[in-house]
Amino acid sequence: MDIANLPFGTTDWSSITPTEHSGDTGMAYWRTQQFGPIRVRMVTYTPGYLADHWCRKGHILLCLEGELVTELEDGRVFTLTPGMSYQVADNAEAHRSSTSVGATLFVVD
C-alpha cells in the first residue's frame, strides 16, 4: 500500500450513513470513506451473518466488537475477537466471513 497525497484528517464514523449489504443470511452495514485508491470502512455484521460470496480482495481487518469467523476456501477457519486482526493480499486466499453473535470491524482495503 502506498499512501500518497493524503492530508491529515479525522473521521467521525457515526456521521457517515451506512449502506446495507445482504449476506446469504444476515446483513452487513458499511460506513465507507475513500481516500484515492484506499477504501476504509467501519463494518457491522448482524448476528447470524454469512457472506454471500468468497472474497478475493485484500484487506487489513481489525475486530472491534463481537466475534468474526473467517473461513478460507482451503478449509482453514480463524476466529477473531476484539483486538485481533488479519491481513491478506489481493487474490492470495479466498475467504468469507460469518458471525453468530454479530461483529464490528475496521477494514482497510
The mean pLDDT value of the chain amounts to 96
Domain tally, the chain? 1
- CA-to-CA separations, 86 to 48, 80, 106, in angstroms, rounded: 21, 8, 11
C-alpha cell at 58: 485484500
Give the CATH number, domain containing residue 46. 2.60.120.10
12 belongs to a structural domain? no
Q: What percent of the chain stands above pLDDT 70?
A: 99
7 belongs to a structural domain? no
pLDDT of residue 46: 98
What is the pLDDT confidence band of residue 57, given thresholds at 50, 70 and 90? very high
| 2, pLDDT greater than 90 | no
pTM of the model: 0.92
pLDDT of residue 18: 98
Q: For the residues 4-14, what does the mean pLDDT come to?
A: 92
Q: For the residues 22-33, what does the mean pLDDT come to?
A: 98
The DSSP output letter for 99 is E
pLDDT of residue 1: 65
Domain that holds residue 104: 19-108
pLDDT of residue 3: 80
71 belongs to a structural domain? yes
29 belongs to a structural domain? yes
The whole-angstrom separation of Cα 30 and Cα 79 is 21
